[in-house]
Amino acid sequence: MVDRKDIGSWLSGPDTSGISKYPGERLGLPESGPGSMARAGRRILGIMVDWTIALVISNFAFGGNPWATLAIFAVEQILLIGTLGYSIGHRMAGIHVVRLGGGPAGPLAAVVRTLLLCLVIPAVVFDPDQRGLHDKAMNTILIRM
């Protein structure tokens, strides 16, 4: 006869003893508040605001051409993140982009992050700390302000 102990190993789930309790813990970030890892809701809000701005500009200037919308989105991301560390959407969501050590992202990181973000896939593949491949490639993180 099958005993509970025989099947308990897979019913109880995987061993989670080595996994962090919250996103950013392995990076030395606080669990919540300023300086903590920006969660999915804030990230999605930020990108929706930025895409909406690009779409409105594209509709008025280029008749809604999807390539123009993508180009406007990319220019906004590169210019604002490269200089200020946040886009309009990031600012509204209360988040900004920094290097892992805490310094500003800088222009090169903004260009590479944006190019990878425009490919979409690197942004939706992320690690337990909620860092997308575009952030991992440039050693950046999105944190709360």
Percentage with pLDDT > 70 across the chain: 88
Q: Residue 101 is encoded by which pair of tokens?
A: 């050590």
Q: Would you call 3 helix, strand, or coil by DSSP?
A: coil
Q: For the chain, what is the domain count?
A: 1
pLDDT tens for each residue of 85-96: 999 999 999 999
Q: Is 14 exposed, middle or buried (0-12, 13-18, 19+ CB in 10 A)?
A: exposed
Please report whether residue 76 resides in a domain. Answer: yes
Cα 135 to Cα 25: distance, rounded to the nearest angstrom:
17
Task: Return the pLDDT at 78.
Answer: 97
Distances (CA, A) of 91 to 42, 54, 88, 131: 10, 16, 5, 19
Task: Return the pLDDT at 13.
Answer: 58
Q: Would you call 137 helix, strand, or coil by DSSP?
A: helix
Please report whether residue 11 resides in a domain. Answer: no
- The mean pLDDT value of the chain amounts to 88
Contact 76, 88 (CB under 8 A): yes
Please report whether residue 88 resides in a domain. Answer: yes
Q: Would you call 86 helix, strand, or coil by DSSP?
A: coil
Contact 68, 61 (CB under 8 A): yes
**pLDDT confidence bin for 52, thresholds 50/70/90:** very high
Please state the φ and ψ torsions of residue 13, each to the nearest 5 degrees: 90, 180
Please report whether residue 12 resides in a domain. Answer: no
Please report whether residue 136 resides in a domain. Answer: yes
CB-side neighbour CA atoms (13 Å) of 144: 16
- Structural domain that includes position 38: 28-144
